[in-house]
Chains A and B, each alone.
Chain A
Amino acid sequence: MLLFSMPSRLLRTVLALFFFLLAAASANAAPSTLDTIKQRGVLLWGCDIAGGAPLAFPDPKDPSRLLGFEADIAEAIARELGVRAQVVQTEWDSLVPGLERGNYDIAMNGLEIIPERQKRVLMSRPYYVYTLQLVVRKDETRINSIADLKGMTVGTLAGAMADSLLRKIGGVTLKSYSAVWPYDDLALGRIDAAFLDTPITAYYAKPDKRLKYVGPPEGEGFYGIAIRKDDRELKQAIDKVIDKLLRTGELKNIYDKWDLWDKTQTKLFETAAATDTASKLRTDSDEAPLSTFLPSLLKGAGMTVVLSIISMALAIGLGICLAFLRMYGPGALSAASAVYIEVYRGTPLLIQLFIIYYGLPNIGIVLSPFAAAIIGLGMNYAAYEAEVYRGGIEAVPKGQMEAALSLGMPRLLALRRIILPQAFRISLPAVTNDFIALFKDSSIVSVIAMVELTKTYSILAATTLRYFELGLVVALLYFGMSWPLSIMARRLERKLKGHK
């Protein structure tokens, strides 16, 4: 109605503008990614620079600068395309999904050329041949090759070939790392061995005096650059550039600079080999029905439940102590409790977990991932519980304590028999809420190599690239566990209310 009542000239102008914008928008969608790169003069490349050296990492002296052989290659490619390179920081697990979403033009960060990946994205011709190196503690005598790994706990990289090779041996407990390397855990005895790509091993494990190499390098594979499925033109351009860098020897120079050139790299000249090696690793995970993953997901879910329950028990116990100290403790203890609560509520759980797991070993306290997870979650939630209980106790009318005292009850007895049972009823809804929150927050402990439901998901998804379906299944598992919990909590609440 409004539109028709407008003066016709204005209407025409508005319509013209509308169609102009429409045309402009569709014209924008037309150019290829290669044209877009040239137009904007910047090649955007996705990479997890937190993944570390020597692939791509921030210069410790000037964190705004990027170092690493992949950084060098990205520069070279950009130069050949007549543009400059700019990195887009992305979690390693999310590199391919990020590429598909159009966050950047290409992804390069030790992405192996494997069929699972090639189903979703194009892979350029290889720019590096990697092998896998087994690393153990200096004093290790049991392990001399990967065949000795049966029954051992081994650290690898999520979604990598190391993972697939070790699964073939069987009986090996795998621990997938992504945010940090497993070498500290290895030196501390949390795992028995580490099995990672050679560039990483060369940079992190070789100089480490607590560790040693055992066995020959295993299972050759290729790193390639990931490009979106419909960007054939860009793939051709990048293949051509890599070919040129190889022939002119620039690539060798880059690898020499990082001490990475060895005779296996000559295989880069025979590109065809890439698919052969890769097909050795072919797994049928892509065609497998979702139910194949259910056992490991359920195992992860079980771990999540156990973790949540024990952490919550710790949080409740410690929370009660903190609340009591804060309310009734002598000055110093009361202040200490207040500080504890404020510090734990005022800092991120993630940082607390990192300090407990990776920081405490510096002062000689080495915790297993399980213990660290429980202590981290429990101590964090204790701060919230303490405040909930304090609120509950303060919400009990003053007359209750007076009535109890006037009956000759000592203060402690009055607290235990009269105040706390009422405070408990008042606090209960908040406590069940916290438990549901903790249940979901427990996913955060996956950063300290704790394999619970979320970690199981990220491992499976990274290997199979079935982020969507597996994600739905995992979300459903979480929901299926927390929903009955909130129903039970509501029922309990109603029952207690009725008794008032």
Chain B
Amino acid sequence: MIKIRNLYKSFGNHKLFQGIDLEVKKGEVIVLIGPSGSGKSTLLRCINGLEHFEQGEIDVAEIALHSLNRSRPSREDAEAIRQVRLKVGMVFQQFNLFPHMTVLENVVEAPVRVLGIDRGTAEKDALSFLRRINLESKALARPATLSGGEQQRVAIARALAMRPQAMLFDEPTASLDPETVGDVLAVIRDLVYQEGMTTLISTHEMGFAREIAHEVVVFDKGEIVEQGPPESIFTSPGQERTRTFLRRVLAK
């Protein structure tokens, strides 16, 4: 579903990725862990075209992004990136709900304007999504009146309303109050178990990673230190860097 080969990416003089490979199969759940700044977010942002990269290939649902000039995309390149974005949904650490719209309008906006679904159908759809995340009653509220957890659940519903084939979660619970984290994780869990959604998550929630991941990928300084099923990564990590990282997170 998503194939990353030999990815090179730098920020100015700082070289982050120097040849990264990763593959996500359909229905697979991959969790990215590692210290802040190790490249987890950047990888997710490369996949849906929010960051450009210098070398390598990324294929998303048969669309190849490797030949694109991403810093100054031509019209065709921009359209290819947009097609990728239609296939993968993204959820951000900061939610990024549209503050000038109600919750319902946030969810309905893209299906109506981008997919051309008529507003009535889109609203009915949106309400059923909101019901699933238990926020139907807030449909007409403005995002600012919602708690962080509620906003993040709306952001997930907004991404799902575009019927993506895969979802990218960029530290979805990192800016939440502890008491609202559970609700957001429950929504993701539901998505994975009920629908078998192909999912890539970067997170610091180790318990959740262990529970939900088919495969855990450990990042450090732009490198993939090791990857494998959660049991082996969490109980018998093969690398010293993984052990150091896990000791530090789990000690908290």
> Chain A: residues with CB nearer than 8 A to chain B?
397, 399-400, 402-411, 413, 417-418, 421-422, 425, 499-500
Q: Given A403-B90, A407-B110, 16 other A-B contacts at CB below 8 A?
A: A397-B94, A399-B96, A400-B98, A402-B50, A402-B92, A403-B96, A403-B97, A405-B85, A406-B48, A408-B82, A408-B115, A410-B78, A417-B109, A417-B113, A418-B98, A422-B99
| Contact string against A for B residues 149-179, beta-carbon threshold 8 Å, 1 for contact and 0 otherwise | 0000001001100100000000000000000
**List of B residues within 8 angstroms of A422 by Cβ:** 98-100
**List of B residues within 8 angstroms of A405 by Cβ:** 49-50, 82, 85
Interface residues of B in 174-203 (CB under 8 A from A): none
B142: Cβ under 8 A from any A Cβ = yes
- 10 nearest interchain CB pairs? A403-B96, A407-B110, A399-B96, A406-B90, A408-B86, A408-B85, A408-B114, A421-B100, A500-B144, A399-B94
Taking a contact as CB atoms under 8 Å apart, the answer to whether A406 and B99 are in contact is no
A188 to B98, CA, bound (A): 56
**List of A residues within 8 angstroms of B97 by Cβ:** 403
* CB-based nearest A residue for B88: A406
* CB-based nearest B residue for A499: B142
Taking a contact as CB atoms under 8 Å apart, the answer to whether A425 and B96 are in contact is no
Taking a contact as CB atoms under 8 Å apart, the answer to whether B100 and A408 are in contact is no
A413 to B144, CA, bound (A): 23
Q: What are 10 of the A-B contact pairs (CB < 8 Å)?
A: A399-B94, A399-B96, A403-B90, A403-B98, A405-B82, A406-B48, A407-B114, A407-B162, A410-B82, A418-B98
Known: A406-B50, A406-B90, A499-B142. A411 touches B96 (CB 8 A): no
**List of A residues within 8 angstroms of B90 by Cβ:** 403, 406
A57 to chain B, nearest CB (A): 60
Taking a contact as CB atoms under 8 Å apart, the answer to whether B113 and A413 are in contact is yes
A404 to B92, CA, bound (A): 12
B89: Cβ under 8 A from any A Cβ = yes
B102 to chain A, nearest CB (A): 9
A42 to B99, CA, bound (A): 71
A254 to chain B, nearest CB (A): 74
Contact partner of A407 (CB less than 8 A), chosen from B94, B100, B159, is B159
A397 to B85, CA, bound (A): 20
A332 to B193, CA, bound (A): 54
Taking a contact as CB atoms under 8 Å apart, the answer to whether B100 and A499 are in contact is yes
Name the residue in A402, A403, A417, A422 with the highest tally of chain B Cβ atoms < 10 Å from its Cβ: A403
A403 to B95, CA, bound (A): 8
A421 to B109, CA, bound (A): 14
> Chain B: residues with CB nearer than 8 A to chain A?
48-50, 78, 82, 85-86, 89-90, 92, 94, 96-100, 109-110, 113-115, 142, 144, 155, 158-159, 162
**List of A residues within 8 angstroms of B96 by Cβ:** 397, 399-400, 402-403
Known: A406-B48, A408-B82, A421-B100. A399 touches B92 (CB 8 A): yes
* CB-based nearest B residue for A403: B96
A404 to B100, CA, bound (A): 13
A265 to B49, CA, bound (A): 89
A392 to chain B, nearest CB (A): 13
**List of B residues within 8 angstroms of A417 by Cβ:** 109, 113
A417 to B100, CA, bound (A): 10
A407 to B114, CA, bound (A): 8
**List of B residues within 8 angstroms of A413 by Cβ:** 113-114
A500 to B99, CA, bound (A): 6
**List of A residues within 8 angstroms of B144 by Cβ:** 500
* CB-based nearest B residue for A411: B78
Taking a contact as CB atoms under 8 Å apart, the answer to whether B142 and A408 are in contact is no
B155 to chain A, nearest CB (A): 8
A102 to chain B, nearest CB (A): 60
* CB-based nearest B residue for A416: B113
* CB-based nearest B residue for A406: B90
**List of B residues within 8 angstroms of A397 by Cβ:** 94, 96
A409 to B90, CA, bound (A): 13
A94 to chain B, nearest CB (A): 51
A426 to chain B, nearest CB (A): 11
Name the residue in A402, A406, A500 with the highest tally of chain B Cβ atoms < 10 Å from its Cβ: A406
**List of A residues within 8 angstroms of B99 by Cβ:** 422, 500
**List of B residues within 8 angstroms of A408 by Cβ:** 82, 85-86, 110, 114-115, 162
**List of A residues within 8 angstroms of B159 by Cβ:** 406-407
Name the residue in B78, B94, B98 with the highest tally of chain A Cβ atoms < 10 Å from its Cβ: B98
A28 to chain B, nearest CB (A): 68
**List of A residues within 8 angstroms of B98 by Cβ:** 400, 403-404, 418, 422
A410 to B49, CA, bound (A): 13
Taking a contact as CB atoms under 8 Å apart, the answer to whether A403 and B109 are in contact is no
A313 to B113, CA, bound (A): 29
Taking a contact as CB atoms under 8 Å apart, the answer to whether B142 and A406 are in contact is no
Taking a contact as CB atoms under 8 Å apart, the answer to whether A409 and B78 are in contact is no
**List of A residues within 8 angstroms of B94 by Cβ:** 397, 399
Taking a contact as CB atoms under 8 Å apart, the answer to whether A409 and B100 are in contact is no
Taking a contact as CB atoms under 8 Å apart, the answer to whether B92 and A403 are in contact is yes
**List of B residues within 8 angstroms of A399 by Cβ:** 92, 94, 96
**List of A residues within 8 angstroms of B109 by Cβ:** 407, 417
B83 to chain A, nearest CB (A): 8
**List of A residues within 8 angstroms of B82 by Cβ:** 405, 408, 410
**List of B residues within 8 angstroms of A409 by Cβ:** 110, 113-114
A499 to chain B, nearest CB (A): 6
Taking a contact as CB atoms under 8 Å apart, the answer to whether A425 and B50 are in contact is no
A84 to chain B, nearest CB (A): 71
A425 to B101, CA, bound (A): 13
A256 to chain B, nearest CB (A): 78
A409 to B83, CA, bound (A): 10
A248 to B99, CA, bound (A): 87
**List of A residues within 8 angstroms of B48 by Cβ:** 406
A406 to B167, CA, bound (A): 11
**List of B residues within 8 angstroms of A499 by Cβ:** 100, 142
Taking a contact as CB atoms under 8 Å apart, the answer to whether B142 and A500 are in contact is yes
B243 to chain A, nearest CB (A): 35
A334 to chain B, nearest CB (A): 14
A422 to B100, CA, bound (A): 7
* CB-based nearest A residue for B45: A402
* CB-based nearest A residue for B82: A408
